[in-house]
Structure 1
Amino acid sequence: MSSSPIPEKIEDIEIRLLLDALYFKYHYDFRNYAMASIKRRLKQAREQLGFKTFSAMQESLLHEPLMLPRILGYLTVQVSEMFRDPSYFRAIRENVIPHLRTYPSLKVWIAGCSNGEELYSFAILFCEEGLLERTLFYATDINEDALHAAEAGIFGLDRIQLFTENHRKSGGHSSLSDYYQAAYGRASFDKNLRQRVVFSDHSLVTDSAFAEVQLISCRNVLIYFDRDLQDRALGLFKDSLARKGFLGLGAKESLRFSKHSGAFTDFVREEKIYQRRRE
């Protein structure tokens, strides 16, 4: 006799308790992420990890430390590509870089760096524009496995054709192949691109402002947060940006309804690039 399906309300309670366990034991806080997205990812985790209920998954999380990275792998989105949305990088190159050239030294924060695609895109862009040597990059994420992958700078060769086309469309001045070596089905990116990179575990949910920077790029992260959490993250960005610094968000993200919107002006509106007001 097959067991009857668990009512949705019960599942919602189980999910809330699982997220509480994740926070109180490991200090990863997903409690104010958009519930529909969290529920979808946890259902995928439950099915693929072989648990019948979220309660069973919670018990394993509490008592088996090796379960933490496995569940985090589902909760943190690690899907990206180099020079994703090439028009965004073209706008950075043509509109933002001229302002950044006026600084003797630069700090750039890539928030939610995932496996490093966005970081290497910026490093290559800054190299092409002659700014790499005077720039310190902060690459942050809450997923330690993703940070290790970003630091390694190795991507599958099957992705390079897309990366190369994106780079060309972004206004790249060189060939992407100048920045990696190919072997055994993998592309290993030049270590010089990450010589001035600080890789760090940082949560937009629980941690404080990171550093004073001239540019923050945080794309396709806020869409997974509820409104209060979006405001918290945008407040961190506001506090971290130097006056007249720049903030880049994802195509589906906006400052429009945030309580921090008054601290920014539209800089390249169609690419969701904003500038911190002087006051």
Structure 2
Amino acid sequence: MARAVTTMEDSAADRLEAIEIELILQALFQRFHYDFRGYSRASVTRRLRQLRDKLGYRTLSAMLEALLHDPSIGPQVVSYLTVQVSEMFRDPSYFRALREHVVPHLRTYPSLKVWVAGCSSGEEFYSLAILFREEGLEQRTMFYATDINAGALEAASAGVYNLDRIRGFTENHQQSGGRSSLSDYYTAAYGKASFDRSLRERVVFADHSLVTDAVFGEMHLISCRNVLIYFDNSLQDRTIGLFSDSLIRKGFLGLGSKESLRFSAHADAFQDFVLEERIYQKQDH
């Protein structure tokens, strides 16, 4: 009997928490114009619990009250919900596949547009910028690195990372088929590595929401890795449709290692290109 009562209490608490989370997401949308309602509830729940504890609120309802009445809380919540853990040349085999299989196709174009969607603090953009420089494509390429997290975009545009991360970045770069030393691209001082300003000469860092914003150009390559895993099925479909509309015919889309087009309503718009690395090509029709 005690177990049944405990189960009922847990169930009631879960329902209450679900209501709190829905209200927080509505508050973010109505008050701050950030729409997280299509994000995976499991991910949102985990992050909001962590933020509640970090900020010292007893309940999510208390955090909701603060969100509604203290404008400074909003950016903290948005930042916590969108922060992505990344590294340069993450999953080196993905970048090797770009280098060996996608770059030969990109060489045939006189000019290129590359979109790094959900760029977070910039590690993937710098990885692609270095790869394109090594392959002789940088000067014909315009990069667009977008995110909804203003703090992340600021960090990306600065291009400064803790020096203790560089060893991992360097190993990844080598495994990706790097044609130079990563140390050619940064200077180190005071425990930080600052990446060469020249890598940012051909990039636009911009606020863009995959949830609400529209197509803004015709891209030859879109790299959006480890972002879709935070979306529910409906928002994943919207995003894949957005990418399809944003790519030129026979353009390329790269996703994260745990992401796929397999169950997307827009899967027919693409064909597998390097499937094991989640690289797809838009159909030529």
* Further displaced range: 56-65 or 96-105: 56-65
**Which position in structure 1 is the counterpart of 2:177?**
171
Are the counterparts in 2 of residues 78 and 146 from structure 1 also a CA contact under 8 Å?
A: no
The match for 1:27 among 33, 36, 44 is: 33
Q: What SS does structure 1 have at the residue aligned with 2:258? A: coil
Please say if residues 255 and 279 of structure 2, whose CA atoms lie closer than 8 Å, have aligned partners that are also in contact.
yes
Q: Which residue of 2 aligns with 1:200?
A: 206
How far did residue 20 of structure 1 move? 0.2
Equivalent residue, structure 1, for 2:216: 210
Shift >4 Å, 4+ stretches: none
Residue correspondence of structure 1 range 112-131 to structure 2 within 5 A: 112-131=118-137
The reply on whether 1:224 has 2:230 as its aligned counterpart is yes
Unmatched 5+ stretches in structure 2? 1-8
Which runs of no fewer than 5 residues in structure 1 stay unpaired?
Answer: none
- The alpha carbon displacement at 1:236 in A equals 0.4
Q: Percent identity?
A: 68
Matched residue, 2:79: 73
Shift of 1:245: 0.2
Give the corresponding residue for 1:96.
102
Aligned positions of 1:227-246 closer than 5 A: 227-246=233-252
Matches within 5 A, 1:33-48: 33-48=39-54
- In the aligned structure 2, how far is the partner of 1:64 from the partner of 1:124? 42
Which residue number in structure 1 is paired with residue 114 of structure 2?
108
Residues paired across the two proteins, number: 276
Letter in 2 for 1:23: F
How far off its partner does 1:59 sit? 1.5
Asked if 2 retains the 8 angstrom alpha-carbon contact of 1:41 and 1:74, the reply is yes
SS state of the match for residue 7, structure 1?
helix
Contact residue 83 and residue 152 of structure 2 kept, 8 A: no
- Please report how far the alpha carbon of residue 52 of structure 1 lies from its aligned counterpart in structure 2 after TM superposition: 1.2
Matched, 1:187 2:161: no
Deviation of the 1:27 alpha carbon: 1.1
Instruction: Provide the aligned C-alpha RMSD in A.
Output: 1.1
Q: Which moved more, 1:53-62 or 1:132-141?
A: 53-62
The TM-score, its normalising length taken from structure 1, stands at: 0.97
Looking at structure 2, the residues matched to 78 and 35 of structure 1 have their Cα atoms a distance apart, in angstroms, of 16
TM-score (norm 2): 0.95
Query: How far has the Cα of 1:243 moved from its partner?
Result: 0.4
